[in-house]
A and B are shown apart, each in its own frame.
Chain A
Amino acid sequence: MPVAGHPSLSEAAPLPSRGMIGAMTRPIRRLRQASRTERREWLFAFILLLPSLTMLGAFVAYPFLRGIWLSLTDAVVGREGAFVGIDNFIKLWNDSIFRRAAQNTFVYTAAATVLKLTLGMLVALMLNNLMGFKRFLRASMLLPWIVPTVLSTLAWKWMFDPTFSIVNWLLFRLGFIHLRIDWLGGPVVAMWSVILVNVWRGTPFFAITLLAGLQTISPDVHEAAAIDGASPWQRFWRVTWPLLLPVTMVVVLFAVIQTFADFQLVYILTGGGPANSTHLFATYAYQLGVATAKLGEGAAASIAMFPMLFLVVLFQLWYIRRGDSGKGGTQWRK
């Protein structure tokens, strides 16, 4: 990932070299040379790892590889497909609904992540500085995260109902609106409504993780900064934020992955409508693969999000490693 003024990706994460290959095969050589006790330990470790490896193979690796294979076939429900190369991807490239879904996914992920980070940080700072009701407030704040997504989203669907919306009723009663808002009706407002629900649901995850990060920062650092005359904002920006950055980056990484592949919220709230204005990669892949029975095309739509998501994640991992190794701005382990 060449970025001007920054070390290249190859510097941060070099490709496997002869040395690395040697390092990878070293355990095997060591096992051959190991004593009986050591071999037993190796075997024990392997047995302990086996369940995890089996789970990963069965539930991650196999579906992923199967998905790649399906995306290269013309499989439909009830019939194994024949290999068609990249035909499905070419179809998707020319598919206006897919392009719309791709655009929506980026908007949805970017907007929701930024909002969740901002709100999550505010809530975390507030909870960190609260004197009373700490446990109660922390538990209450987690509710949106704990409640099953389908249930909470159905509740939101009711709140957004154009005829019976309690949100509209409140806004009307408070004098903010004179005409009702069709929260899920217009292309722009529908997308922002869906983002709002995602933010509502995802903010507690940010808040609780950032709160955990905040509590690892020694109060001495803040006191020292205060004695030096730093204002609250300066203390946040110069002390809290840099020290919290490693945790923040990890939380953002998880959130981006989850949001990018989000399905339930949109499926329940709008089904991708109106006029495909809220379709995401996952909902459109589902529509193609399951509702229209075209498994090959559905798998292709699903796999198509992988390279894009992979690039985003790769960038974030590189950024985290960069900080970890002390290169660049986020030298949090010093």
Chain B
Amino acid sequence: MGDKRHTTPASDTLALSRRSLLKGAAAAAGTTALGGLPGILQAGQAPAYPKGTKLHLLTRINFIPAGDKLFLEQAEEFGKQMGVEVQVERIGENDVTTRSSAAIVAGSGPDIIMLQNNFPHLLANGLADVSDLAEALGKEQGGYWDLSRANAYVGRQWLAVPYGVLSNTMNYREDWLKEAGYSKFPDTYEELREVGKKLKAMGHPMGQCFGHSVNDPNSWCYPFVWAYGGYEVEKDGKTVALDKKGTLDAIKLNTAMWKDSFDEGGLSWDDASNNRAFLAGSISVTNNGASIYFVGKDKFPDIAKVTNHAPNPRGPAGRYYHMATHSSALMKYSKNQPLAKEFIRWYMDKKQYEPWFIAMSSYMIPPTKVWFEHPAWKTDPKLTPFRDSIKDARHLGYAGPPSAKASEALAKYIMVDMFAKAIQGTSPEESLAWATGELKKIYAA
């Protein structure tokens, strides 16, 4: 690389991983100017990249602009140090998977794509093995949360490096709850319904999205079913198990809540609709990430002041969360694989990741356990429920192993439409039978 050779800032804790990384980089590159891996280690320098090399990363638009801005700055810094051009492209979250599929089919496109949920399973054939990098990072940072691992570890290899977890918990207006006579957020779904009834009668209904949108509807529907003892498939990953009394109870309760507690607009909402409705003072409670609170702090301070967060309600079988995980997937077609790995390693390194995590105001839970006790979580106690939720997270397709089948069920909105059908007037039994039938077709294929 001549004058533009770059050495990642020295760090004792990173020395081993640097070697691991370089091994991977050299293996992928096949050779290096200094005579392979020994040469690189001797020189203590990263491999050189031809002038004009471009690295392209595709990710979703975050709700926290400060985090996006910092990430862009970091990418630029990485580009300067490596003598390459780094392009960060942000698109709507609902389009990330489709862009990924199109890129894989075309065999060209971004080098790195931040995939959501368990889509590394769905797109496994188009992703490169990043086990060396993921394992090294996991070791350094106290190990991965189960959910992060479940979504990025496919078969016997890591097909993506976990980047963060987006938690949805209950966002609520403390002032209106107090007006309704409650000093704390209800603990169970039944209690929530009672509170919701009062709130709706006061003109402050709860709000929940049941449209075809990737995050919020799923984050409400999956945990509701799990909390009542329902789940998609048995441990064998083949036998569909949705048709249980618990699932039926969840559908019935949700339909009742729709009538007496919820805002009637939710069937056509997308992930941004409940944010807008909450900040406009139209709804009092919704299941969402911390984005409402952060935008409120910035633009609607009066609303942010009376906004708080609580854990998801509990059902007879427990309290659960579906969380949108984000993982950096290295595309198999990429001609810049060593460089792309280097970049992932760069932004996951504590030196870069920590300021980004702080800039994101704890909006995204880091994928590894070392961050659980980070002081940033203590700066605002209102955010604690988000941090704690990771412990009760379940992967899609529970109780079976993580799989592409579960991704397909998610992409087809089977669970969401089961609830939506019941809301629209189909009987809960028929809605459940429909969803079970659809899942059987998916899992039998």
Contact = CB atoms under 8 A, between A and B. Distances in A.
A274 B124 contact: no
A162 interface: yes
A273 B122 contact: no
B282 to A, nearest CB: 5
Contact of B94 (A270, A271, A292): A271
Which of B102, B125, B211 has the most C-beta atoms of chain A within 10 angstroms of its own C-beta?
B211
Contacts of A271: 94, 211-213, 270
B123 A77 contact: yes
Contacts of B127: 78
A180 B269 CA distance: 15
A324 interface: no
Contact of A164 (B122, B264, B280, B441): B280
Interface in A169-183: 180, 182-183
Contact of A76 (B125, B267, B280, B411): B125
A184 B266 CA distance: 10
B404 A275 contact: no
B98 A290 contact: yes
B420 A292 contact: no
A246 interface: no
Given A162-B265, A182-B268, A273 B417 contact: yes
B237 to A, nearest CB: 17
Interface in A47-105: 76-79, 91, 94-97
Contacts of B434: 96
Nearest to B409: A292
A144 interface: no
- At the interface, is chain B mostly helix, strand, loop or mixed? helix
Contacts of A276: 417
A262 interface: no
B437 interface: yes
Contacts of B267: 182, 184-186, 273-274
Nearest to B265: A162
Interface in B185-229: 210-213
A271 B124 CA distance: 25
A285 to B, nearest CB: 12
A295 interface: yes
Nearest to A284: B412
Contacts of A291: 97-98, 101, 411-412
B122 A293 contact: yes
Contact of B126 (A77, A162, A272, A294): A77
B211 A94 contact: no
Interface residues of B, number: 47
A149 to B, nearest CB: 16
B104 interface: yes
A163 B280 contact: yes
A150 to B, nearest CB: 12
Nearest to A165: B265
B331 to A, nearest CB: 10
Contacts of B273: 161-163
A292 B424 contact: no
A53 B332 CA distance: 35
A194 B123 CA distance: 32
A302 interface: no
A160 interface: yes
B269 A162 contact: yes
A186 B268 CA distance: 8
A95 B268 contact: no
Contacts of B280: 163-164
B210 A274 contact: yes
Interface string B91-107: 00010011001101100
Nearest to B418: A275
Nearest to A95: B441
A165 B212 CA distance: 19
Contacts of A293: 101, 122-123, 404, 407-408
B434 to A, nearest CB: 7
Given A161-B273, A163-B282, A164-B280, A292 B122 contact: yes
A207 interface: no
B392 interface: no
Interface string B382-411: 000000000000000000000010011001
B268 A275 contact: no
Interface in A271-304: 271-277, 286-287, 289-295
Given A271-B213, A275-B417, A78 B332 contact: yes
B277 interface: yes
A287 B101 contact: no
Contacts of B210: 273-274
A326 interface: no
Nearest to B94: A271
A190 interface: yes
A77 B269 contact: no
Contacts of A7: none
B430 to A, nearest CB: 11
Interface in B431-445: 434, 437-438, 441, 445
Given A160-B268, A163-B273, A183-B268, A96 B438 contact: yes
B154 to A, nearest CB: 12
A187 interface: yes
28 contacts: A77-B101, A78-B123, A78-B124, A78-B126, A96-B434, A160-B268, A161-B265, A162-B268, A163-B273, A163-B276, A180-B264, A183-B268, A185-B264, A185-B265, A186-B424, A187-B424, A273-B413, A273-B420, A274-B211, A275-B421, A290-B101, A291-B98, A291-B101, A291-B411, A292-B411, A293-B101, A293-B407, A293-B408
Interface of B: 94, 97-98, 101-102, 104-105, 122-127, 210-213, 263-270, 273, 276-277, 280, 282, 332, 404, 407-408, 411-413, 416-417, 420-421, 424, 434, 437-438, 441, 445
Given A78-B104, A78-B125, A163-B276, 10 more contacts: A78-B123, A180-B264, A182-B265, A182-B268, A183-B268, A185-B268, A273-B211, A273-B416, A274-B211, A293-B101
